[in-house]
Amino acid sequence: MKFIKKLLILIVLIVVACGAWVWSGAYNIGADAPHWALTKKVISVLRDRSIATRADEVKVPDNLDDPALLAEGAAHYHEMCTGCHLAPGMGDTEIRQGLYPKPPNLTHFAPDPAEAFWIIKHGIKMTAMPAWGKTHDDQKIWAMVAYLQKQPHMSVERYRQLYAAGDAAEAGEHDHAGPAHASTGSSAAAAATAATQVPVPAHADTSAVPASPAGSASAPAPAGSAGA
Ligand code: HEC
Mean pLDDT for the stretch of residues 180-197: 48
Residue-level pLDDT at 176: 53
Cβ of 104 closer than 6 Å to ligand 1, yes or no, is yes
pLDDT tier, 33 (very low <50, low <70, confident <90, very high otherwise): very high
Cα R_g (the chain), whole angstroms? 23
Q: Which atom of ligand 1 is nearest to the CA of 145?
A: 35
CB of 131 within 6 A of ligand 1: the answer is no
Question: Does the pTM exceed 0.85?
Answer: no
Sign of the dihedral through C-alpha 143, 149, 152, 157: negative
Residue whose C-alpha is closest to residue 105's, from 208, 228, 222: 228
Q: Look at ligand 1, atom 14, and give the residue with the nearest C-alpha.
A: 103
CA 221 to ligand 1 centroid distance, Å: 21
CA atoms within 13 A on the CB side of 141: 23
Q: Does domain 59-200 match CATH 1.20.144?
A: no
Checking if the pLDDT of 216 tops 70, the result is no
pLDDT digit string (tens) for 76-129?
A: 999 999 999 999 999 999 999 999 999 999 999 999 999 999 999 999 999 999
- What is the 185 CA–ligand 1 centroid distance (Å)? 26
When pLDDT is cut at 50, 70 and 90, the band that residue 207 belongs to is: very low
C-beta 123 within 6 A of ligand 1? no
- Which has more pLDDT, 170 or 15? 15
The Cα–Cα gap between 75 and 165 comes to 8
